[in-house]
């Protein structure tokens, strides 16, 4: 019941994380205490689990406990009293320079792979959104095209791409129907996420990039570069589908354009 309606990948991760937790204590969810949650976090820290992984595991557990209280299975939500450990903000390390992004995209000569890299950056799509995109979701306009994107949390948004970007997509269509995926696998279905990752890693190596980015890095780059070029933060928020302006504003703080150090005498 708790996992109903969640994206398949999220559902699998949530189920795995909560199952590990419940197996660790081997007792009913209603008997879990605040001390149990705190002990589990300490156990994960002692194992050398990364802070990001601990936060992900704890988020799944807290989500289950919240739901259990909501439906009346648990009298109290003990998860509400436990805060996740603080994590260092490494966003700046995952924002590629504009020159690297352009070299990455322009050096890819395979038409389909070039379009994949271009759309990840130009539209700021998540990898799951890119994989599920179908031709019925692409509507031509005078400016280029509007993509109807079904994103995180079951939210739908509309993303405008330029005419040059649309021309690159149209060159791939080759008679495909409205229900066909924009990026097809060899078997004719939607290209999967592992294939996208391999395409990006290979392109990064061929372009001579010092680091091998993930597809989400191009989404980070979209946000940072658009803001650097003066795009209003609320427009970036709408394009990327962020739940709040505070999420989008992280990109402003990740790479500040000014600082008090330049006012010092030495």
State yes or no: pLDDT of 92 exceeds 70: no
Whether residue 144 contacts residue 165, with contact meaning beta carbons closer than 8 Å, is answered with: yes
**Mean pLDDT, to the nearest integer, of 151-160?**
82
State yes or no: pLDDT of 255 exceeds 60: no
State yes or no: pLDDT of 1 exceeds 70: yes
Query: pLDDT digits over 188-204, tens only?
Result: 788 898 999 999 999 99
What confidence category does residue 262 fall into, taking pLDDT thresholds of 50, 70 and 90? Answer: very low
What confidence category does residue 112 fall into, taking pLDDT thresholds of 50, 70 and 90? Answer: very high
Specify whether 219 is catalytic.
Answer: yes
* Two tokens, residue 208: 């001579």
State yes or no: pLDDT of 259 exceeds 60: no
What confidence category does residue 32 fall into, taking pLDDT thresholds of 50, 70 and 90? Answer: very high
What confidence category does residue 261 fall into, taking pLDDT thresholds of 50, 70 and 90? Answer: very low
Percent of the chain with pLDDT over 70: 89
Q: Which residue among 152, 184, 201, 202 is the active-site one?
A: 152
State yes or no: pLDDT of 64 exceeds 50: yes
Whether residue 172 contacts residue 134, with contact meaning beta carbons closer than 8 Å, is answered with: no
Q: Which residue has the higher pLDDT, 162 or 249?
A: 162
State yes or no: pLDDT of 260 exceeds 90: no
Task: Please give the C-alpha separations between residue 37 and each of 10, 40, 67, 133, 241, in angstroms, as whole numbers.
Answer: 21, 5, 16, 40, 32
**Backbone CA torsion sign across 212, 130, 149, 151:** negative
Specify whether 255 is catalytic.
Answer: no
Query: pLDDT digits over 37-57, tens only?
Result: 999 999 998 888 888 889 899
d(CA 117, CA 191) in angstroms, rounded, equals: 13
Q: Which residue has the higher pLDDT, 23 or 244?
A: 23
Average pLDDT, the chain: 85
Specify whether 216 is catalytic.
Answer: yes
pLDDT of residue 39: 92
Q: Which residue among 14, 40, 121, 251 is the active-site one?
A: 251
Specify whether 152 is catalytic.
Answer: yes
DSSP labels, 214-239: -HHHHHHHHHHHHHHTT--HHHHHHH
Q: Which residue among 114, 165, 220, 242 is the active-site one?
A: 242
pLDDT of residue 246: 67
Mean pLDDT check: name the lowest of 24-28, 91-95, 260-264.
260-264
Q: Which residue among 27, 216, 253, 255 is the active-site one?
A: 216
Query: pLDDT digits over 18-27, tens only?
Result: 999 999 988 8
Q: Which residue among 126, 165, 222, 225 is the active-site one?
A: 126
Q: Which residue among 57, 62, 219, 225 is the active-site one?
A: 219
What confidence category does residue 265 fall into, taking pLDDT thresholds of 50, 70 and 90? Answer: very low
**Mean pLDDT, to the nearest integer, of 221-241?**
84
Q: Which residue has the higher pLDDT, 21 or 239?
A: 21
Query: Residue 72's CB: how many other CB atoms inside 10 A?
Result: 7
State yes or no: pLDDT of 266 exceeds 60: no
């Amino acid at each position: 019941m708790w996992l109903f309606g969640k994206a398949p990948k999220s559902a699998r991760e949530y189920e795995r994380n909560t199952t590990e937790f419940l197996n660790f204590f081997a007792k009913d969810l209603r008997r879990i205490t605040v001390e149990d949650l705190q002990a589990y976090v300490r156990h994960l820290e002692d194992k050398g689990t990364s802070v990001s992984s601990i936060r992900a595991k704890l988020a799944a557990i807290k989500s289950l406990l919240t739901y259990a209280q909501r439906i009346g299975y648990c009298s109290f939500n003990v998860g509400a009293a436990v805060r996740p450990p603080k994590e260092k903000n490494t966003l700046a390390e995952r924002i590629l320079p504009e020159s690297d992004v352009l070299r990455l995209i322009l050096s890819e000569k395979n038409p389909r792979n070039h379009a994949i890299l271009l759309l990840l950056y130009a539209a700021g799509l998540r990898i799951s959104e890119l994989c599920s995109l179908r031709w019925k979701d692409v509507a031509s306009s005078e400016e280029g095209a509007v993509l109807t994107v079904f994103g995180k949390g079951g939210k739908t948004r509309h993303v405008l791409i330029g005419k040059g970007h649309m021309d690159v997509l149209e060159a791939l269509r080759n008679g495909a129907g409205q229900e066909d995926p924009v990026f097809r696998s060899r078997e004719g279905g939607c290209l999967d996420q592992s294939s996208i990752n391999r395409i990006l890693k290979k392109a990064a190596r061929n372009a001579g990039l010092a680091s091998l980015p993930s597809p989400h890095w191009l989404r980070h780059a979209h946000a940072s570069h658009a803001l650097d070029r003066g795009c209003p933060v609320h427009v970036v928020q709408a394009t990327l589908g962020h739940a709040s302006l505070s999420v989008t504003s992280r990109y402003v703080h990740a790479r500040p354009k000014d600082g008090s150090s330049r006012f010092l005498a030495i």
